Amino acid sequence: MKRRDFMYLGAASGLSLALPKIALGQNTDTPILILIELNGGNDSHNTVLDLSQLSLYKKLRPRLGLEADERVQLDKNFALHRSLKGFVDPWQRGELALVHGLGYPNANKSHFRSIEIWDMASASDQYLSAGWLANVLPKLSSSSIDAMVFGRNSAAFTGGNTQHIQLKNLKSFFKKAKNIDAAGQGSDNSALSYLLALKQNVFDGKELMMQGLSRDIKLKSPFPKSALGRQLEDVAKVIRMQLQIPAFKVAIGSFDTHKGQKNKHRQLLQQLADGMLALRAELTASGHWPNVLMMTYSEFGRRAAENGSGGSDHGTAATHFLMGGRVKGGHYGEYPAFDNLQGRDVVFNLDFRSMYQSVVQQWWLQPSFELASGLESLDIIHRP
């Protein structure tokens, strides 16, 4: 069990009782990335619409396609699902980027394999053991915990030297982790040392959160009561504790809408918008917003055409959102063409790793960070 030295120092010397080093100005704080996993494969064609392809879209989706009153216009060529109408404001303020046509060559349509590809930032036929953020985070901050995952799937952070904790919510974390102490000695037994490493992370996370709690944070904005809303409420609290944790992840689902999609998708997108906008409001009021970036992702998009049961099947390329105080708002990549299907799927235009890599390079100022050679760079972040 190899861990970073200062953690032991912290635990041994009773630093846990001291307040964290609070940076003097917002600018010196570690920039924060919040990953939002749209679990199940979001139907991107019904999330962001390319109005220049409207007639083809309607032909492919006679029942599922969004009517005029089910969408909200963003600009001349694009509209959003009506559930996302709250995104118009950040869009107009230049705080929202739409990254179109994201995917990868030889798309895999298994939920499990494809999310693994996104989490590991691998090629379709490449099997990696470390998540795309597994090694970059420790460089960014001196916090004993580099990432917090609320809810499912922490694969993006595992397999490297990133220390992360995964939890359901803060309340149950405190209740149940109360009696967990430091892990102590490691073990020759690999399974046991795995358990002990988890134990140590829980202990570190608990100590860190205790420091934060001592600052008595009261949120200024109401958060929605959905699962995602609650997760983002906790994220907001931890961000306001100023513990210098560079990354968070939340998840919402299931977007695997094979049947009866319309209603389900409307609800999910509403929860997504409400949650993201509540976080934006809270962190704008607290002054943290310029230092926060939200990014959505999902294992795949869905088929161009609707299926026979009022839903859509597993597909390929999709549009994703970046929202934050320093995002360069606008369109990136190209919306896939409905008249150029491969098999029954749209063709991706932009490697998802371009988005990842650009974010790490520009948001965390790591210009040498590279996920694969020859990836297109998106100029997507304003410098502080």
Partner 1 sequence: MSNLENVRHSLNVCAVQRKFSIINSLIFASVLMILPVNSWALSDEQSKHLLLRAGFGAQPELLQQVSKLAKSQAVTYLLNQQPSFAAAPSCVNNKLLDRKARRKLSADQRKAYRRSLGKCNREFRSWYLEQLIADKAVLANQMGLFWHNHFTSSLRKVKASKLMYGQHLSIEKYALGSFGKLLKAMVNDPAMLVYLDNVNNSKVKPNENLGRELLELFTLGEGHYSEADVLSAAKALTGLRLNSNYQSQVHNKLHDSSAKTIFAGTTIRSADDLVAALLAHPQTSLHISRAIWQHFISVVDERQVAKLAKVFARDWDIKQLVHSILDSDQFWQDSGKMIKSPVELVVGSVKTFQGIKIPAKRLTKMLSEMGQVLFDPPNVKGWPKDRDWLDTNKYIVRSYLMDQLARAISSNMAVSGAPYCSLKKMASLAAIALPDTQKSKQFDNSMDGSCQQQLTQLVTHPIWQLK
Using the minimum distance from each CB to partner 1, give the nearer residue, 96 or 305: 305
Exposure string for 153-192, b = 16+ CB within 10 A, e = fewer: bbbbbbbbebbbbbbeebeebeeebeeeeebeeeeeeeee
Given 37, 233, 299, 313, the residue binding partner 1 (CB under 8 A): 313
Judged by CB under 8 A, the stretch of 133-141, 182-190, 221-229, 270-278 that binds partner 1 is 182-190
* Dihedral over Cα of 306, 311, 316, 318: its sign: positive
Query: Least distance (Å) from partner 1 to the CB of residue 163?
Result: 10
* Site for partner 1, residues 79 to 118, rule: CB under 8 A: 108-113
Given 3, 199, 262, 328, the residue binding partner 1 (CB under 8 A): 199
Residue 5 contacts partner 1 per CB under 8 A: no
Instruction: List Cα–Cα distances, 306 to 116, 185, 186, 311, in angstroms.
Output: 26, 56, 54, 6
* Site for partner 1, residues 234 to 263, rule: CB under 8 A: 258-259
Residue 173 contacts partner 1 per CB under 8 A: yes
Q: 139 in helix, strand or coil?
A: helix
Q: Give residue for tokens 């590279």.
A: 370
Given 94, 222, 343, 384, the residue binding partner 1 (CB under 8 A): 343
Q: 188 in helix, strand or coil?
A: coil
Query: Least distance (Å) from partner 1 to the CB of residue 150?
Result: 9
Of 179, 196, 178, 176, nearest in space to 188 by CA: 196
Total number of residues binding partner 1 (CB under 8 A)? 41
Residue 13 contacts partner 1 per CB under 8 A: no
Residues 6+ positions from 75 with CB-CB distance below 8 Å? none
CA atoms within 13 A on the CB side of 201: 21
Query: Least distance (Å) from partner 1 to the CB of residue 180?
Result: 6
Report the distance separating Cα 286 and Cα 81, nearest Å: 29
Using the minimum distance from each CB to partner 1, give the nearer residue, 6 or 194: 194
Structure tokens at 52: 């220049």
Asked if the bond preceding 254 is cis, omega within 30° of 0, the reply is yes
Residue 180 contacts partner 1 per CB under 8 A: yes
Judged by CB under 8 A, the stretch of 84-92, 167-175, 233-241, 374-382 that binds partner 1 is 167-175
Residue 196 contacts partner 1 per CB under 8 A: yes
- Which helix (H) or strand (E) segment is 266 a member of? helix 261-286
Residue 332 contacts partner 1 per CB under 8 A: no
Binding characters for partner 1, 28-57, by CB under 8 A (x = yes): ------------------------------
Residue 59 contacts partner 1 per CB under 8 A: no
Phi, psi at residue 197, to the nearest 5°?
A: -65, -40
Q: Which residues would be at the binding site for partner 1 (CB under 8 A)?
A: 108-113, 149, 154, 164-168, 173, 175-177, 179-180, 184-185, 187, 189-192, 194-196, 198-199, 201-202, 205, 258-259, 307-309, 313, 343
